[in-house]
Amino acid sequence: MTKPISDIEDELVEEFDLFDDQMDKYEYIIDLGKKLKPLDARYMTDDYLVKGCQSKVWLHAYKEGDLVFFEADSNSSITKGIIAILIRVLSGQPAKEIINNPLAFIDRIKLRSHLSSQRSNGLTAMIQRIKTYAGAFVE
């Protein structure tokens, strides 16, 4: 059974609430990126590159049954951590739930407010690409 997105978001918020210092949060984001499963080299091409990111981010999506799964990689440790967070929340969910989810956890953990404008734009680009992929899988 798939865990609801809201439950996963709540878990992330609880984890980030453990950190008082912003630098500790960044370290945690980097650690999450290090745990991301390596992306198959065949997906590390321009076709899978997320446009609008300062760093290179490759994103691949596939569907199994009614669920959409995501795999990604980045050449930047902080960006890899950010995409790892998005994958944790959205991978393995039904396409319509991915598309319709407002991703309120991003504001709850104050992620965007501590990113540079370029990284914030990259976060938006990653979210848009994920939702575009999910849209392609809606039946």
Catalytic residue list: 53
User: Quick one: how far is CA 88 from the chain centroid?
Assistant: 7
List CB contacts of 16: < 8 A, sequence separation 6 or more. Answer: 25, 28, 109
Cα dihedral sign for 67, 80, 113, 8? positive
List CB contacts of 39: < 8 A, sequence separation 6 or more. Answer: 58, 60, 71, 72, 73
